């Protein structure tokens, strides 16, 4: 998958911001992004985060035969991998020009600068030496890969412990960590790369360029230096002609940045060693325990609730008083009224004697209205009668109501109630309803 090119609007916007000494992430011209170092459970495993650029470093070792021309020196090997997980533009299984350039720069920075004592890796001269392999995996790409990779490589080498060995005659004994404590590597110094991006043919300079800034830059200068201000390697790319003053100014800035990063690395190594000796929890799981994967993660902000009552009083005092609302009575049917929600409706509840009478003969009786007798079933009018009454029934035990065209609903209700009272009076006297107290 090819890299998505920047539009002309984005390019002009970035260059205009750089001219005004502004950056998209709010940094100043010479500011570095925040660096975070976390260690794994095994020695020699670490993750370095330079802003959003993340690199995983892993160091391994094995006993091999030495090179013929260097019989008493160990072998130091570096390998950087750019996977599609870091950026879709990286193609798997193919070494791009960027990857070759980065690997060569790492080798010149770390191996050719003699930061690791390779003679201490010799076990038997001409027969057995230690081969130290440093594998670097780019987990996320947000610019300045070489700086993050160099930091991850030197941190992993300083954190690594190789197994202890003993030689008795021609026999080489390799001890496990349980039998003998692993031995750290002999590190002379810590070379760290610092990148400088140039814009408009060297007119403007930025330290630690981001991924978008790298797309619009004209040239790149990488200076590898240790805290003693010793230049380990220097590489310029992009075809920008630099003056001596520009290179000297970059070297001074690199010396300051390298001293700060070296101090950060030493503190991280000391903290990890202290936690391991005390038997505390360590590893990647402990370092990212507070960074849970959520869609919207916000930092916790303290809330001051000391003057809540005063603010609430001021708000109430400034607010307008609520208007007086008078509830209008709700008229459900003639003769009833309700104000507000009230309680459960108790109108029309039957006494015990009335309930018994209704259960005995209520379902078998019919109501006669205007000389028309209707059974409990639904009467279907004939096809020839247009003005035939329509019977509405919800259930078998409820009274039937006949709707006839041209008649008022109130009159039908009155006739229905009067017919029902006549039927009940002919069978049994009805007790008077008790008056309920008004709520």
Name residue, tokens 């950056």. 23
**How far is residue 399's CA from residue 102's CA, in Å, rounded to a whole number?**
93
Residues of the chain with pLDDT under 70: 1-2, 284-301, 323-333, 335-439
Which pLDDT value is given to residue 292? 55
Dihedral, 153, 87, 253, 193 alpha carbons, nearest 10: 20
206 pairs with which residues across the strands?
197
What's the whole-number average pLDDT of the chain?
A: 78
Closest by CA position to 107, among listed 68, 134, 71? 134
Strands of the sheet containing 231-237, edge to edge, are 204-207, 192-199, 219-225, 231-237
Which pLDDT value is given to residue 376? 45
Residues 6+ apart with CB under 8 A from 357: 424, 427, 428
Which pLDDT value is given to residue 85? 84
Which pLDDT value is given to residue 378? 44
* Per-residue b or e along 244-274, where b marks 16 or more CB atoms closer than 10 Å to that residue's CB: eebeeebbebbbebbbebbeebeebbeebee
Which pLDDT value is given to residue 399? 52
Question: What is the separation of C-alpha 419 from the centre of its chain, rounded to a whole number of angstroms?
Answer: 74
Residues 6+ apart with CB under 8 A from 238: 198, 217, 218, 219, 220
Which pLDDT value is given to residue 343? 55
Between strands 75-82 and 128-140, the pairing is: parallel
pLDDT tens track for 1-17: 567 788 899 999 999 99
Dihedral, 216, 218, 223, 224 alpha carbons, nearest 10: 50
């Amino acid at each position: 998958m090819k890299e998505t090119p920047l539009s002309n609007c984005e390019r002009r916007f970035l260059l205009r911001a750089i001219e005004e000494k502004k950056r998209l992430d709010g940094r100043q011209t010479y500011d570095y992004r925040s660096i975070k170092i976390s260690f794994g459970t095994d020695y020699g495993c670490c993750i370095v985060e330079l802003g959003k650029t993340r690199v995983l470093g892993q160091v391994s070792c094995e006993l091999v035969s030495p090179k013929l021309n260097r019989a008493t020196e160990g072998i130091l090997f570096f390998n950087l991998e750019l996977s599609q997980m870091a950026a879709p533009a990286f193609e798997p299984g193919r070494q791009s020009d960027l990857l070759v350039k980065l690997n060569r720069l790492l080798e010149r920075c770390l191996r050719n600068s003699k930061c690791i004592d390779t003679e201490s890796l010799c076990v038997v001269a001409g027969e057995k030496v230690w081969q130290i392999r440093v594998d670097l995996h780019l987990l996320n790409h947000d610019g300045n890969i070489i700086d993050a990779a160099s930091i991850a490589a030197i941190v992993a080498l300083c954190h690594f412990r190789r197994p202890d060995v003993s030689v008795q005659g021609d026999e080489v004994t390799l001890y496990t960590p349980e039998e003998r404590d692993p031995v750290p590597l002999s590190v002379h110094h810590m070379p760290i790369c610092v990148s400088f991006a140039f814009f408009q043919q060297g007119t403007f300079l930025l330290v630690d360029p981001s991924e978008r800034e790298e797309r619009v830059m004209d040239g790149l200068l990488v200076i590898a230096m240790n805290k003693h201000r010793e230049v380990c390697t220097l590489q310029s790319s992009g075809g920008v002609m630099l003056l001596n003053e520009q290179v000297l100014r970059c070297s001074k800035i690199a010396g300051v940045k390298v001293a700060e990063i070296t101090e950060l690395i030493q503190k991280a190594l000391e903290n990890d060693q202290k936690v391991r000796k005390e038997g505390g929890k360590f590893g990647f799981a402990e370092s990212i325990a507070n960074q849970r994967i959520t869609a919207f993660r916000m930092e916790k902000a303290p809330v001051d609730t000391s003057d809540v009552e005063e603010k609430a009083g001021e708000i109430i005092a400034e607010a307008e008083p609520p208007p007086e609302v008078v509830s209008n009575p709700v008229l459900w049917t003639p003769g009833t009224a309700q104000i507000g929600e009230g309680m459960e409706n108790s109108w029309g509840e039957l006494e015990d004697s009335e309930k018994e009478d209704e259960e005995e003969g209520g379902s078998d009786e019919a109501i006669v209205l205007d000389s028309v007798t209707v059974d409990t079933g639904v009467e279907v009018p004939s096809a020839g009668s247009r003005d035939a009454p329509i019977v509405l029934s919800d259930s078998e035990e409820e009274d039937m109501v006949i709707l006839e065209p041209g008649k008022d609903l109130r009159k039908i209700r009155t006739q229905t109630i009067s017919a029902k009272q006549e039927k009940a009076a002919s069978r049994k006297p009805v007790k008077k309803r008790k008056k309920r107290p008004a709520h």
